[in-house]
Amino acid sequence: MKNLVYIFTFIIATSAIAQSANNLENEKLKLKQALTYNDKAVAASSMYSIISMEGEQSTYKDSLAYLYFNDAKYVSCFLVTNDILKRKPDNLELLEMQTISLESMGAMEKAIENYKLLLSKSNNNYHAYKLAGLQLAANKLDEAFQTIKKADQLPDDGSMKVTFQVNKNFSQNIDLKAAVAYLEGIIAMNLKKDVEAKLSFERALKLFPDFVLAKGKLEALNTKQLENK
């Protein structure tokens, strides 16, 4: 009798495991189809089902963060990445997504802290550039000046571009190295360091001769110098 009970229990357990495995595979197939049809709502729903079946360690939690980030759902992206980073604090991609999400949400102080952490781990000049920009916006001018100086000293692979809106109908994609020099000039101007600002704008133009905004700032400084003579 005991053997019969054991066999019966084993059959039920095996059946449940098989059913669970089938459900998991079905959800993965549904997810694949949803992504093929660009149905992000269904894709997110499938990811949640997969995560619930696989548990906290499921890699689909990472996929959910990417899905939210690419769909500009920054609050959800922040919450998911915040959860994952407790287990994987050194994942730079997830930390960068969380940081950009904070910036996009308007949580500037928290975004500044995150960029500091990200920069300490990545030593990336673009992260330093972004941090300096936020520090400037927060009127932390001395910190911004130190950060942009660091950005200028860090290696640059030439691949990154920064978009500047010149006017309502025209924007420019500027090499990061030139963008760093330009931002250094802007921060220097705010610190009343016009000589350093001028040198920075000149360097930006040397790196990117058609940089419209840098030309405008340099012309304004030259005019100011003439008027003060």
For 156-169, what is each residue's pLDDT tens digit?
998 999 999 999 89
pLDDT band at 11 (very low <50, low <70, confident <90, very high): very low
User: Does the pLDDT at position 143 exceed 80?
Assistant: yes
Give SS3 for 175: strand
Structure-token match 């692979």, residue found: 157
- pTM, entire model: 0.86
pLDDT score recorded for residue 21: 56
User: What is the token pair recorded at 96?
Assistant: 């960068």
Distance CA 182, CA 95 (A): 27
pLDDT above 90 coverage of the chain, percent: 74
pLDDT score recorded for residue 22: 72
Distance CA 12, CA 18 (A): 10
User: Does the pLDDT at position 2 exceed 90?
Assistant: no
pLDDT band at 20 (very low <50, low <70, confident <90, very high): low
pLDDT score recorded for residue 18: 44
Distance CA 215, CA 136 (A): 21
User: Does the pLDDT at position 23 exceed 70?
Assistant: yes
Q: H or E segment at 162?
A: strand 161-167
